[in-house]
Structures are given as structure tokens and as C-alpha cells.
Amino acid sequence: MADVAARLRVAREDAGLSIEDLSARTKIKPTVLLALERGDFEQIPGGEFFARAFLRTYARELHLPVDEVTADYEGTRPAPVVVQAQPHAFKQDAEDDARPALQGWPVAAVLVAGTVLLFVLTRSTPVVESELQPVAMTGASAQAPPPPPAATTGSAAPESLKIAIRPTRRLWVTGTADGKRVLFRTLEAGEEVTLEARESMTFRLGDAGAFAYALNGVPAKPPGRDGEVREFVIDRRNYRELAR
């Protein structure tokens, strides 16, 4: 982390820029820029996602190789811990759950056989042909049950998800549509951006309370409080719940 941070600081000083100058160019707060230059990535609001985004913006502004700086940063991160599943344990539990039910089958079979035998032995009247004929159903009981009502047009999912974003104040936001990044910048107050996706959209916000938006033409609920860093998803399952 020290190598990455030092590289940023040296590049800024070689360019003759102060922290305030760089902040005005990148729209990143001076405290965040200082944290990048000290290597205090854990202190940056929003966690690793925003730390990586600020790092790329810093490198791009100072004409550093963005991918190389990002790769150096990634090399300092701990490797994820992979937990292996144990399928044999689940299989054993399933067999244990099924065993009591199987053990009850012999007793049930004996009881059923005894009931049938008793009925045959005690029946005194012969079975006539009329008893074997099916009884015709008449009246209301002969009618087939009505088919379930068809789904109404209002409950059908839309062909696409459309969002119109108009922040109430300056807002840093990244967004993806169907897994593809479509937004990665600072929006000014009152600026309007329209995005569309077929299945889902994901957003990462620096100030959730400033994220005002309409979903498929309907004003929607704010995703969080003022100043809150928030990530949220809009998809075909929850888009109606987000509408006011």
C-alpha cells in the first residue's frame, strides 16, 4: 500500500498541484485524497469499492497508467477465503430423516390387508351389475370447476426497467444495467440522467439521500438517508415496492 500511495503523492507533487488543486479537478474531497496518499484505504467512506474508484480517478487525472496502479492496489488486498461445502453430511441427514417413515411401512401394510380381508368375509349380498356402473353426475356437481382468473395487465412485469435520475445535490454515483457499467461519475444537482435495463440495475451512491429518481415514470422511494453511502438493486421482483 505504501508503494501505491507514494506513487500518487510523487506524481501530484511533480505536477505542481496541491491537494486543494487536485480536489477541484477530480471532485474528490481533500480528506479522501490525503487518505489515498497515506495508504489509509480502509478509512475511505464506502469501503473497498469506492477506494478503487477514487484511486482510478486520481491516477487518470495525473496521467498515470490506471490499470497498472489498480493492479498494484489489488496486490495489497488479502485473498478471499473459500469455504468448501460438505455434501456427505447433508446426504447422511436426509437418510436419517427418511428412515423413521420407512420403518412404519410394514405395520401399515398389515393393517390395510386385514381390513380388506374382513370386508370380503363379512359381505353377505352379491354384487350386482348396477353397483359396478358409474353414477352419472347431475346438476351443479357435474360442472367442471371454473378456470383460475387470468392475470391482469397491471400485474404483468414490464418489458424493461427505466430509471430517470435527478439528484437534489452533487452526488457521486456508479451504476450497472444488466451487469454492464453505464454510469461512473459525479452528477450535479438538477442534472437528469436516464438509464434502461431488461432485468436489473445496481447503483452505488456516495449520498443516498440526494438520489432522487423515477422508476418507469413513477416517483420512487429514496434508497437511504442524507450522507449515507449505499448500494441497492432494482429488478423485476422489487421495482413495484420501490414506487411511492
Q: 192-228, pLDDT tens digit by residue?
A: 898 999 999 999 888 888 889 988 877 888 898 887 8
What local confidence, expressed as pLDDT, does residue 220 receive?
87
What local confidence, expressed as pLDDT, does residue 118 receive?
54
What local confidence, expressed as pLDDT, does residue 172 receive?
79
Say yes or no to pLDDT of 177 above 90: yes
Query: What average pLDDT does the segment 151-176 reach?
Result: 77
Say yes or no to pLDDT of 152 above 70: no
What local confidence, expressed as pLDDT, does residue 108 receive?
54
Say yes or no to pLDDT of 71 above 80: yes
Query: What average pLDDT does the segment 147-166 reach?
Result: 66
Using CA atoms in the order 90, 93, 95, 97, what is the torsion angle rounded to 10 degrees? -140
Say yes or no to pLDDT of 240 above 90: no
What percent of the chain stands above pLDDT 90?
A: 27
Which long-range contacts does 13-21 make (Cβ < 8 Å, 24+ apart)? 15/62, 17/62
The residue ranking higher by pLDDT, 140 or 210, is 210
For residue 84, what is its C-alpha cell? 468448501
Say yes or no to pLDDT of 28 above 80: yes
Give the residue among 2, 14, 81, 71 at the shortest CA–CA distance from 41: 2
Give the residue among 221, 225, 223 at the shortest CA–CA distance from 244: 221
What local confidence, expressed as pLDDT, does residue 13 receive?
94
Say yes or no to pLDDT of 95 above 70: no
Strand 171-177: give its sheet, edge to edge.
180-187, 171-177, 200-205, 230-235
Query: pLDDT band at residue 66, thresholds of 50, 70 and 90?
Result: very high
Give the residue among 116, 199, 123, 127 at the shortest CA–CA distance from 157: 199
What percent of the chain stands above pLDDT 70?
A: 65
Give the residue among 119, 128, 134, 196 at the shortest CA–CA distance from 162: 196
Give the residue among 192, 197, 194, 182 at the shortest CA–CA distance from 235: 197
Query: pLDDT band at residue 230, thresholds of 50, 70 and 90?
Result: confident
What local confidence, expressed as pLDDT, does residue 165 receive?
92
- Count of beta carbons in the 10 Å neighbourhood of residue 41: 21
Query: For residue 235, what are the β-bridge partners?
Result: 200
